[in-house]
Structure formats: structure tokens, C-alpha cells
Amino acid sequence: MVDPKAQLCPNIVYRPIMPSDLEVLEQIHADLFPIRYESEFFLNVVNGYDIVSWGAVDRNRPGCQSDELIGFVTTRTIPAKESEIADMLRCDSSRTDQTLVYILTLGVVESYRSLGIATSLIREVIKYASNIPTCRAVYLHVIAYNDPAIRFYQKMMFKCIQRLSNFYYIKGQHYDSYLFLYYINGGRSPCSPLELVTALATYVRSLFKSLTAKIWKKEEKKVPRWFKCKDTSCLLVTQNKRIITTDSTGFQCV
């Protein structure tokens, strides 16, 4: 279908996927993925029914090939509450309008790999999702043995947040998958162990501060009335001095 070696200097352009891409899109999916997708899926992609997608073409290919897909990404926007990762997001529970962008498929034909095409496609997705004010994350599943894709998403700063046992069932065999997620628009995980430790440390520090303040108040009551300054800021200074030089006799009150 594509003879990329013939392309000395590809000129990669990104564009929406259109009905005229149907045949090539189906072919590339069949070539790249172990799963067979139904025709309805492809029709939805090319017609933009409920699916938003981007394609990559090489304008330097000869003739009508210059508009033939050599890469693609397909996505669907879903309500966060209906997704399997709803409790992995720190969502405002009172808001029901929060959404997620799910990556359905991503692929680049073999001869055009390692040129940064998938990187550009995923950047398009992140840009698109970031412009949806209600969207909190972009996420996807990768079959556990797909090392190139796993490395790719790691490089793109997606977080691998879960391994799902037997997620895929392909040709009579079960396979695990990894769930990768990229937070946007203030979306974030509910509470990481580090956040818990930080919160605890902050609490202990504030507790210590308030205890110290109480002790000082008691000490202050013990000080003879005539030592007190009318100005509270002045009192504070003299108290500090007392701490620094314990044998100081100089409560310099006015």
C-alpha cells in the first residue's frame, strides 16, 4: 500500500479524517491491530459520529497518495462519571458535567515510524481535550505486551495508573492491559501517598504552632502587670528578647 522508502523527504500534514479515507483506514487498522473492528466503527470515524479523529498524510507521495492516510488517532469524549476511572480523578462530586477523552485507536504505518508522527497526533488530542473546559483527562488502554506503545506513552508523560488482568480476549486468549492517563485542566488523582504525608506534616506543624502560642499566652499571664507594654507589638518584641537572652532584665516597656 505504501512504499515509504521511496519517500526521501516526507512532508507530513495533519488533517481531519474524511469519508474518502474509509478504505485505507480499515486497511491500516487490519494491518496494525490484532482486534477486528466492526464496519460501524469505521463509518462513525469517517463521518465524525461521536468520534473525533485526526489523520496524517505525506504530501510528498506521488499523485493521489499524497492525501492517503499514513497515520491516525481516533477518540471519543465520554462523561467522567460513566467511565471506569471516575474514582481516579479528583472531581468535584457536585459537578456532573465533567468529561474525559478516550483514545480508541492510534497507529502509524510501519515505514513512517519514529518520525514523530504519533507524537504530533497525540499532541492534537491533548490540545483538543484541553480546550474542552469540562475535560479532566485523556486516557487509553494498551495491551501489556505492546512495548513500543508503552514506551511511547511514557515518553508523552502519560501516567500508567493500572494493570487490568485479562482485559483483552483475542483469538481465544486473555491479555492484560495497562491504563494510561494524562491529566488536563486541573484534573488529578484523588490523593497520592506523597500528598497524604505532606498533608499530615502540615497538620502536625500547625498543631505545634497553636500549642506553642497557647503556652506563650500562659507565660504572658505570669508576667507582672508593670512589665507589660500597651502596644502589643512592643510586647511581642520584649518577649522575643526574653527568649534570646534568658537572664535579661530588660523588659523595655514604655
Ligand X SMILES: CC(C)(COP(=O)(O)OP(=O)(O)OC[C@H]1O[C@@H](n2cnc3c(N)ncnc32)[C@H](O)[C@@H]1OP(=O)(O)O)[C@@H](O)C(=O)NCCC(=O)NCCS
Nearer to ligand X, 128 or 168 (CB): 168
Encode 46-74: b = buried (16+ Cβ within 10 Å), e = exposed.
Answer: beeeebbbbbbbbeebeeebebbbbbbbb
155 binds ligand X (CB under 6 A): yes
**Nearest distance in Å: CB 95, ligand X:** 29
Stretch that binds ligand X, among 9-17, 39-47, 149-157, 246-254 (CB under 6 A): 149-157
126 binds ligand X (CB under 6 A): no
114 binds ligand X (CB under 6 A): yes
**Nearest distance in Å: CB 115, ligand X:** 5
**Nearest distance in Å: CB 109, ligand X:** 8
Distances (CA, A) of 64 to 22, 23, 30, 104: 15, 14, 22, 27
Helix orientation angle between 39-47 and 22-32, rounded to the nearest 10 degrees: 130
Nearer to ligand X, 59 or 241 (CB): 59
152 binds ligand X (CB under 6 A): yes
* C-alpha cell at position 105: 485507536
Nearer to ligand X, 47 or 119 (CB): 119
Show the site string, 88-107: x = touches ligand X by CB under 6 A, - = not: ------------------xx
Which parts of the chain are beta strand (E)? 12-16, 52-58, 69-79, 99-108, 135-143, 159-170, 173-183
Restricted to residues 195-234, the positions that interact with ligand X (CB under 6 A) are none
Q: What residues have CB less than 8 Å from 122, skipping those under 6 apart? A: 73, 103, 106, 156
Nearer to ligand X, 80 or 106 (CB): 106
Q: How far apart are CA 196 and CA 76, in angstroms?
A: 33
Nearer to ligand X, 98 or 178 (CB): 178
Tell me which residues touch ligand X (CB under 6 A).
32, 106-108, 113-119, 140, 142, 146, 148-149, 151-152, 155
